[in-house]
Structure 1
Amino acid sequence: MTTTHPSARPAPAPSPWRQPLPVWATAFAAVVAFMGIGLVDPILPSIADGLAATPAQVSLLFTSYFLVTALAMLITGAVSSRIGGKATLLTGLALVVVFAALSGTSETVTALVGFRAGWGLGNALFIATALAVIVGAASGGTAAAIVLYEAALGVGIASGPLVGALLGDWHWRAPFFGTAALMAAGFLLIALLLRAPAKPARPTRLGDPLRALAHGGLATTAATALFYNFAFFTVLAFTPFVLGMGAYGIGAVFFAWGVCVALSSVVAAPRLQRRIGTVPLLHTALALLLLAQAAIAVSVAADTPPALIAAVIATGVPIGLCNTAFTEAAMEVSDAPRPVASAGYNFVRWIGGAAAPFVATTLGAALTPWAPYLLGAACCLAAATVLAARRRHLGALARA
């Protein structure tokens, strides 16, 4: 009988939690950046009441934010390669501080939508660069860095609705000022702790992210993520209007949802990727999200609040799985530099996030409140179809 020498055993996966202090500072700022996505969720009805706006008008808070984020992704690489990663992070944080504070001063929904657009520009500069900085500075390799980044995303998305509910119960303006204060703290931490990463030998050209999308694998990943993001942000942006709850109730539901996002992205996704591979994991998660969206539609149509709450919270599991799998796929599927691949991928996928809130609220008002979730389920099916039809381009993601 042959025995395996102990030295032949596979080394344990590196821990994503043993990181230098500058990486943790960047991760903290990323938590706050992602907190801004769900921050307005519990206060959407309050904002609509306070500014005499319709749900469709209020949904533009998401649309302007994500549309500018998507477009700005095309310039993040060119900016960071010229002024450096640290300066880009600080510029993005400074813009978020300014526009989050201005959002709290808005007297009309038009002004608030405009300030959220400026906030989206700052967020794009920060998010795209933060991932590259964390991957470059973290110990344990790309996989460990992505887990840390997704942990920041999960914690931010989970805490955003809770912070929004707690501060929004006082006044709908308070969450915006709170975010500005937290981002200012992130600005100081990065300014003091992060050493400026070396600039690339060749500056990124403005067209590089679009050129990177010529790669079949990255184009497939981005197109699939576009449909997925539409389904994701249909849940996030439209659901507050069908829950029929106050700020605390909406905040509690989306806090539980965010905990599911965080746990599935950080704990479940890496294990499932090692066991079944990235592409099968994406197919599984998209199928689960499709079923959850259908369950939400049925619950809304039947007017069964407990079932609706359970179905909304349950969507956090496949969303967390997708977030981690898509991020790693975008980083690894092509030979483009990671910042360039991230910019091209995020440009496409955030278009889905920009379209979903306005389309969902408009569709819900014109037809029926459960119609947006059927569209979200159809988008999950479309994403899975693209993934299956173009699987030949995803060989780099095959499990070893």
Structure 2
Amino acid sequence: MQSKSTLIKEELQPRSVGILQQPKAVWAVAFACVISFMGLGLVDPILPAIGKKLHATPSQVSLLFSSYTFITGLAMLITGVVSSRFGTKRTLLTGTFLIVVFSILGGFSGSIGQLVGYRAGWGLGNALFIATALSAIVGLSTSGPAKAIVLYEAALGLGISVGPLLGGELGSISWRGPFFGVGVLMALAFLSILILLPKLPKSKVRTSLLDPFKALRYRGLLTLGITALCYNFGFFTLLAYTPFVMNLDEHGLGYVFFGWGILLAITSVFVAPKFQSRFRTVPSMCAMLFCFAVTLLVMGIWTSSQMVVIVAVIIAGAFLGVNNTLITTAVMVAAPVERSTASAAYSFIRFVFGAAGPWLAGKLAEWYNPHIPFYVGAIAVVCGILAILLGNKHLQHIDKAVASHH
């Protein structure tokens, strides 16, 4: 019998098929990913409006992100158990259905508490969807794992970039509009998966709740999880807190985050692979995280300058796009375990322990001043760099594993 490490190496052999030459099933899942990630950007332009309409402080509104990410992280522990028993297609459909239900319920919310609760339910659906979607795209792709991950990141970037534009338009009518918009779009995603994705064979290996924790025994995977935890503090400071300091309406915020998302999408697809092949994974990740930390520092120093914050937010998309692809690719080959298990373990750490980031950003502004959240976010990202440097010896195999893709 072949070992898991041997299977992973075989998966990483070069394939001549181009990234766009994919089966219909891959495109169906990718389309659903675009719509799913639109849900994240769709809500961003209406955060200040939610605060005004529901009489909530920025820290209370930021709980929309905290509850979402916390439940997503916890639910990641069961995604492997669910998908290995019910199959990829059923798990994707269940996750998509839950997002439809809870996003529509969110649109009917009468208080910030209700909305935070519905976002938690949304997080459960999101966990079932995104963990299985990445595994499905990588498994079904005919172009190899590296190109499949780039395709996944492209879907992520496209969804995040288009989402704010639609969110700004719907949000200018009512803050409830984007929630109903997500519900309708995810219903379309549900149909695309139902129709285009064939019934896939269930995994021959039944995973357990302990598997993600066992996977964290591999120091490379643990290092990447801790790095992502720190990085998420900075990421959600940008995503959940900057809308409150830019002083823009729903349309304005939509355009700013559209620019941010466009840069994120372009760099994740076209720039990240070049950085990886030329400068190697670990140095490239450290460089992108350093640039992101500096960007947060700039926003902290010039918080009162609307133009500086707007430009910094957009530019940050470039650094985040490259880093997202690099770290996702690294996670897939960091440990000799199933891809879904590696993703679950990594996501558990970064989401559960990083969930305090959005809430803390709002609270720091209330406790001290508007500059402090950016400084703390920058320090957290620097801690992510230190985590990589301390665990560097456990990441040396990543470039060898990925080299055959290029």
Bin of the TM-score, shorter chain as denominator length? over 0.9
Which of 65, 76, 80 is 2:79 aligned to?
Answer: 76
Bigger Cα displacement from structure 2, 349-358 vs 20-29: 349-358
Return the offset for 1:341. Answer: 0.4
Quote the residue 1:392 is aligned against: 393
Partners of 1:334 and 1:396 within 8 A in 2 = no
Aligned pair 1:178/2:181, yes or no?
A: yes
User: What is the match of residue 362 of structure 1?
Assistant: 363
Q: 2:395, 2:77 → 1: CA distance?
A: 23
Q: Is the 8 A contact 1:230 1:352 kept in 2?
A: no
Q: What secondary structure does 1:197 align onto?
A: coil
Q: How many residues align?
A: 389
Correspondence for 1:52: 55
Shift of 1:197: 2.0
- The aligned runs of 1:114-193 (5 Å cut-off) are 114-193=117-196
The aligned residue for residue 204 of structure 2 is 201
Q: Which amino acid aligns with 2:44?
A: D
* Post-superposition offset of 1:355: 1.4
2:234 to 224, 231, 234: 231
> Within 5 A, what are the aligned runs for 1:98-109?
98-109=101-112
TM-score relative to the length of structure 2:
0.94
Q: How does 1:220-369 map to 2 (within 5 A)?
A: 220-300=223-303, 303-369=304-370
Question: How far apart in 1 are the matches of 2:210 and 2:267?
Answer: 35
Gaps of 5+ in 1: 1-10
CA apart distance, 1:395: 2.0
Q: Secondary structure at the match of 1:112?
A: helix
Say if 2:47 and 2:61, in contact at 8 Å, map to a contact too.
Answer: yes
Measured in 2, the distance between the counterparts of 1:367 and 1:382 equals 22
CA displacement, residues 12-54 of structure 1 (integer Å, 9 cap, x when unaligned): 9753222111111101111111111222111011111111111
Q: Partners of 2:19 and 2:375 in 1: how far apart?
A: 37
Write the deviation string for residues 260-295 of structure 1: whole angstroms up to 9, x where unpaired: 111111110011111111111101101110111111
Secondary structure of 2:202's match? coil
Secondary structure, counterpart of 1:245 in structure 2: coil
Gaps of 5+ in 2: 1-13
Query: For the aligned residues, what is the CA RMSD?
Result: 1.4
Letter of the 2:364 partner, please give it. L
Shift of 1:352: 4.8
User: 1:264 touches 1:320 (CA, 8 Å); kept in 2?
Assistant: yes
Q: Shift in Å at residue 220 of structure 1?
A: 0.6
Asked whether the equivalents of residues 229 and 351 of structure 2 are also in contact (C-alpha less than 8 Å), the reply is: yes
Deviation of the 1:365 alpha carbon: 1.2
1:226 and 1:33 mapped to 2: Cα distance? 22
TM-score by length of 1: 0.95
1:227–1:352 contact (8 Å) kept in structure 2: no
Q: How does 1:31-46 map to 2 (within 5 A)?
A: 31-46=34-49
* 8 A Cα contact 2:45 2:254, kept in partner: yes
Residue 22 (structure 2) aligned to one of 19, 22, 30: 19
Could you list the runs of 4 or more consecutive aligned residues of structure 1 that deviate by over 3 angstroms after TM superposition?
Answer: 11-14
Q: Does 1:211 align with 2:214?
A: yes
Instruction: Report sequence identity in percent.
Output: 49
Letter in 1 for 2:129: F
> Is residue 15–residue 144 contact of structure 2 (8 Å, CA) maintained in 1?
no
More deviation, 92-101/29-38: 29-38
- Residue by residue over 1:162-207, the C-alpha shift from the partner in whole angstroms, topping out at 9 and shown as x without a partner, is 1111100010101111110110111011111111222121211111
Tell whether 2:89 aligns with 1:86: yes
